[in-house]
Structure 1
């Protein structure tokens, strides 16, 4: 329904919107000091221009009214008809698109120290790369400037996001960690060009030279070798709100350096920097976790570090695998400390995003896995 305003430049429109979207729109508009009617109009304009938005759940939609520029409501209706979707769906996608491109400003750490999330487990195949990327994407989506470090010489993270790995023998994080950097590490950082992240998501690509990192650190003359990663990344910290490190499957010196880098620093509040540990609901994953915990505790005791477990992520979970899976999940939950941040199913969207060389939250922003990543990010930021 449309009712012209007395001035003639706007018209009152009435349609339907879910309570969830209505609440998010109200809160975000208030945070950004924008009128709801202007936010709605901006979202419709972007949607009409063809910016991509996945289908939105409109279950339980109730009446929603606002004032829009004259004629825009009819444009939206005509576009919905041309695209073969219900009008309520077109409005919902427009609102969601505005929310996605106008992130909340609520994220700056009180201490002013860049948050450091170390995604770690020496067991391969547990989904460290997917979890690290998902956390970084969720933080960037919410308005933070994020550096995602591909610390694994296999370079799965770089490959999955369509970022070229650094050529062996050229300047890299490895050389900077060994005190042999040839330039400014900032020059190697790549920005992910997805509108959803507003140029806030950045990647420091992997380099195959990292396969020799443990040996190079061991034979170097550097003091406090555990601080090698921190020395390399510290000059970049002022440029980012958060740094997420995708660790290699190793228990060597490189892992020690990552654990050291994620310790809680003086003046930093609790629950912000530390270890995020992806695990599987199976016995071998529990054994690997014990080995990792022993390494963390040894560093904590030997160097008197304040190292926090931010939590576990039970990944690739499928209850259809039977008793081993369900009982293992129960045991992970019963640990209590570290807590289980999320249980992520073995679903297709992540694999599809990898195949398309796109971030999951851009490829399938409303899938269950994307919501899981947002949940984890919210818990640890």
Structure 2
């Protein structure tokens, strides 16, 4: 453990603690946003004030553990341990367990209104599907485990450095990485693209053409309950919190079928509304289209009555090259027109620059700077063009379970927190 900034008025102490207890302490302190040393200090203080020792803790396999405590506390603690006739290791273990019992894991912060995030761009090939999957995985990760996250200041540094020093973005500096608890949200990924990329990448099976589908529900011709089509993704790393509504090739006909539907802009909302109570976040992987289906997706992401700005809306995925800029203009024009025509608020949640590689030279670095200069919406994610995402797709596994410590996984977690 590194010395805190106030180490000059604290003393380093070394003892032993069982690995499982040390890990629980590390996770719980992170969940409460405090230093481990502060938790140990409080635990020792409370334990020493008790009339007697607490229940015995199994300290088998205890290993070296060090922390910083106020001057004199360790000596006082050693005296109490001696008076109670137990070992120093047992006393420390009881103190830590006492703090854990007094500070249970906090409940997951759930939104009052189910968040609806529309991942979109008119241009294909920018990686909308990868961002949808990675963001959903990051939102659903275990809240009782620690995961490597690139902190917000690191993203800002990478974006500043990208212009003058292209090789610095995205950053790989370990000092810019924090281990934080997962967000633990219940997430539904909706594959809204007839090409079924999200469905295939996550190892699920596209829905058959002669069965039920999201298209049928949007067109007013359901053949069953939409819940029956949902599949769970990666139960072990995501604890059953990550689900997928697979796509069907019949979505190629969606615009034609929607043309005969009344209030067609609300078709996606009518289909998904019955599912919203089961989820904290619904992410929609949109097709590279500016048709009626995109109108329905954008409308679904509009800000609802009582919903805070920036909770739901459009997350735009681009690349650092010129054609993405052209597609961006087309998409934002469509969304802005929909805003005006229907008098609704559709928030932009930000821009994600995906598949970035500064080695592509001036085109990449200058394009990245162009995205940064937009300011509104701002760049909320910078994801490198690295091999782990391609490997995860080939293996049909979620990126954050296939390569949880990769720079892309770290960036996905940063993105999840940027738009939280």
Which bracket does the TM-score occupy, shorter chain normalised?
0.7 to 0.9
Name the larger-Rg structure. 2
Partner of residue 156 from structure 1, selected from 194, 197, 201:
197
Taking a change above 3 Å as real, the CA distance of residues 249 and 104 of structure 1, as seen in their structure-2 partners, is farther
Report what 2:130 is aligned to: 130
1:216 aligns with 2:219: no
Distance 1:284 1:22, change over 3 A: farther
CA offsets, 1:344-377, max 9 Å, x none? 1100111111111111111111211111111111
Query: Which residue is 2:419 aligned to?
Result: 380
Instruction: Specify the alignment match of 2:406 in structure 1.
Output: 367
Q: Give the aligned partner of residue 44 of structure 1.
A: none
Contact 2:32 2:106 in 1 (8 A): no
CA distance in 2, matches of 1:138, 1:118: 16
- Structure 1 runs (4+) deviating above 4 angstroms are 20-25
Shift of residue 174, structure 1, vs aligned partner: 0.4
Partner of 1:244 in structure 2? 283
SS at match of 1:238: helix
How far apart in 2 are the matches of 1:117 and 1:361?
Answer: 19
The TM-score, its normalising length taken from structure 1, stands at: 0.75
Kept after mapping to 2: 8 A contact 1:341/1:376: yes
Distance 1:289 1:30 in 2: 38
Structure 2's unaligned 5+ residue stretches are 1-14, 41-55, 64-103, 142-182
**TM-score if structure 2 supplies the norm length?**
0.69
Q: How does 1:71-90 map to 2 (within 5 A)?
A: 71-73=60-62
* Number of the residue aligned with 1:332: 371
Structure 2 counterpart of 1:28 = 31
Correspondence for 2:49: none
Partner of 1:232 in structure 2? Answer: 271
8 Å CA contact retained: 1:103, 1:143: no
Structure 1 residue ranges without an equivalent (≥5)? 1-11, 38-66, 75-101
| Residue 257 (structure 2) pairs with residue 203 (structure 1) | no
Could you report, residue by residue, the CA deviation over 1:230-274 in whole angstroms, capped at 9, with x for unpaired residues?
000001001111100000011100011000000010000111100
Partner Cα separation in structure 2 for residue 274 and residue 145 of structure 1 = 18
**What's the counterpart of residue 181 of structure 1?**
222
Q: Cα distance, 1:30 vs. partner? A: 8.2
Query: Does 1:166 find its partner at 2:207?
Result: yes
Which of 328, 332, 346 is residue 293 of structure 1 equivalent to? 332
Alpha-carbon separation, structure 2, partners of 1:29 and 1:148: 29
- 1:32-75 per-residue CA deviation (whole Å, 9 max, x = no partner) reads xxxx89xxxxxxxxxxxxxxxxxxxxxxxxxxxxx96242448x
Match for residue 345 of structure 2?
A: 306
Q: CA deviation at 1:21?
A: 10
